[in-house]
Amino acid sequence: MGKAKVSAAYPLLGVLLLVVVVGGVGWLFLRPGSATKGPVNVILISIDTCRADHLSCYGHPRKTTPCIDAFAREGILFTNVISPVPITLPAHCSMLTGANPPYHGAHDNITYQLAESNVTLAEALREYGYETAAFVASFVLDPRFGIAQGFNAYDAEFGQRATFQQRVFSERRAGDVNHVANAWLHKQVEEPFFLFLHYFDPHYPYDPPEPFASEFSNDPYTGEIAYTDRCIGELLDTLKRLGLYDSALILITSDHGEGLGDHSETRHSYFIYHTTTKVPLIVKLPERREPNRVDEVVGLIDIVPTILEYVGAPIPSEVRGESLCPYLVNKRRHGGERYIYSESLTPMRYGCSSLLGLETGKWKYIQASRPELYNLSEDPGESKNLVEAYPQQALLFKSRLKALLEEQTRITEDESALTLDQESLDRLEALGYVGGGTTDEAFEFETSKDDPKEFVSLYEKLARAMELFNQGVYAEARRLCGDILAVRPGFVKVYISLGKIAMAEGRVEEAVTHYLKVLEIDPEAAEVHNYLGDIRAQQARLKEAISHYREALRLRADAAADRENLDRALRRLGRIDPVRVRAHINLGRALFHLGRIGAAGVEFRKATEIDPRYAKAHYEYGTILFIRRKYEDAIKEFEEALRFKPNYPAARRALDAALAVRDRSTGP
């Protein structure tokens, strides 16, 4: 169901809640398999980038997670949980919608957002009477990416970072997340709540605090997990002190794992082997402390239906996962063998085929230019490709994969597309997410493109070059870029990286040469036009700067930073006099307050003529036109304001009002 349908699904919610209060009936919050009544608080904890096999309760040889181990001894531990995508934003979109990426539409951290038409777990629970709150630890889950839908409170504030690296990475430690979450928990007394906590520490770069830095000096990634475990233990202790632990439904999971060199992948987002797609999931039930272990294959998309069924809330029709509630009461699920989906479109950014996977408990199939088939029961490390040995099995999986994609591909690229400013792209690149190139969401089984397995070494070199660039090790970064170009001379991302390196070293014209090379290969590389505009603006070659900024704006029309750059260059060239613009705006406001509406409109119109890209001037002039009942003209001005400043709430409200009045006045 869409957003409107969600509201329509709960028309009697207020009446039902009244029955609960007046009649003392707790049926709204009945728990499956339990006669206990009362509201069930829900707490979902996500440990970013956490490989299941690095938790000691999942078999790690060191005592890495004593707090989570103790938690697991009181609940149900699922051993075979698959994430649909090894990338933070889309994986969390799946975790919070119960749908795979083809359905919810987000496939990457770069150029994607969770479309508004999706229904999130927070929305479903809020409609059901829950207070909803989230405390996240990384810029990757910033509200601008659509992930905050349905949360009454969504805390993604990272404060002022002391160092350049902290500002770029924009993350906060698990202890800081606990601090703000604890303050919120102390205020929760009456209403049932849904709390989502996101810990980012195991994500690259690995930098655990002491004593974990010393204890895991040779394995800082695992040290980050151990530190996060301690923070989770502290959070659980807080719940116990507040009397919230025993009565809560608590889930601990992860969005994806980490390559750590397996399959030649250092980090994540490229391949879909179990190193990056197999995640932990532990569920503690209210008022029950009965350990159990479930070895059946399940998906990250099963979390939403499990929670909603457990608390008795309706499950939106958009959900594609299955409820795990039968496992929570020691029963087996009904139905045939499950096929769990996974994907990575990242290789497509470099001219390779996508990776589309489907697996059961025994078999796993990966569709690529060179398809792969693994017998997981005999080869859990996915090292022996059996496509040629079992061609019929591979064809069966290929057919099922096609059918799943046909059934689940719903959101169009336009709905989920997002244009990021350069600072945001730089932040994501600093976390190891390599941009550049485009993806194709047609999900065709391409066989003519390069196979991702053949390109992974170059991908790793590029990621390493970016890492070295962020660390200021320019010579080595430049050498790696040269190695890549020796194999792929047309790889535009490398020329962009070389341009950044040259700029950092003060070799401006060398950077220009690299950027112009990019435009020879890809004339529509908007970010390069922006870089060249910056360089020419710094050199006071303003006409050239304006030309590049205009081209960048043409290519990504909704990028606010490009508009600001263009306006700044135009002002420097004398084509826009900001003093005159402000004078007309201020005079217009003064005239308006004196009741001289017509004269005020003249001043606002003059401001739009001097600076046609000044959103506030269009808004002010549109307001005058609206007051004078010139609705069509007012609508045009409000639309202009939003064209130049899409995030302009006052103009948006004014446009909606003008459209409503216009429609009423012209209606039948």
Kindly state the percentage of the chain with pLDDT values over 70: 84
Is residue 401 included in any domain, yes or no?
no
Q: What is the C-alpha separation between 288 and 51, in angstroms, rounded?
A: 27
Domain residue limits at 631:
578-666
129 and 79 in one domain? Answer: yes
Domain termination residue (choose one: 545, 572, 599)? 572
Tell me the pLDDT band of 335, cut-offs 50, 70 and 90: confident
Task: Report whether pLDDT(36) > 90.
Answer: no
620 and 556 in one domain? Answer: no
CATH number of 611's domain: 1.25.40.10
pLDDT tens string 497-554 = 999 999 999 999 999 999 999 999 999 888 899 899 989 988 989 888 888 888 887 8
Q: Burial code of 68-81, b = ≥16 C-beta within 10 A, e = fewer?
A: bbebbebbbbbbbb
Q: Burial code of 451-473, b = ≥16 C-beta within 10 A, e = fewer?
A: bbbebbebbbbbbebbbbbbeee
175 and 42 in one domain? Answer: yes
Name which residue leads in pLDDT, 505 or 159: 505
pLDDT of the residue at 31: 45
Domain termination residue (choose one: 329, 358, 392)? 329
Q: Give percent helix, percent strand, percent coil of the chain, each to the nearest 5.
A: 50, 10, 40
Q: Which structure tokens are listed for 63? A: 């005592």
pLDDT of the residue at 199: 98
Number of domains composing the chain: 3
20 and 82 in one domain? Answer: yes
Mean pLDDT computed over 569-597: 80
Report pTM. 0.77
Tell me the pLDDT band of 612, cut-offs 50, 70 and 90: confident
582 and 504 in one domain? Answer: no
pLDDT of the residue at 18: 32
pLDDT tens string 49-59 = 999 999 999 99
Task: Report whether pLDDT(662) > 70.
Answer: yes
Are 248 and 195 spatial neighbours (Cβ–Cβ below 8 Å)? Answer: no
Is residue 347 included in any domain, yes or no?
no
pLDDT of the residue at 46: 98
Task: Report whether pLDDT(436) > 80.
Answer: no
156 and 243 in one domain? Answer: yes
Rg of the chain, C-alpha, whole Å? 27
597 and 566 in one domain? Answer: no
655 and 586 in one domain? Answer: yes
pLDDT tens string 288-310 = 888 999 999 999 999 999 999 99
148 and 93 in one domain? Answer: yes
Task: Report whether pLDDT(79) > 90.
Answer: yes
308 and 322 in one domain? Answer: yes
CATH number of 181's domain: 3.40.720.10
pLDDT of the residue at 70: 97
Tell me the pLDDT band of 68, cut-offs 50, 70 and 90: very high
Mean pLDDT computed over 641-652: 90
618 and 514 in one domain? Answer: no
Name which residue leads in pLDDT, 4 or 336: 336
Domain termination residue (choose one: 276, 308, 329)? 329
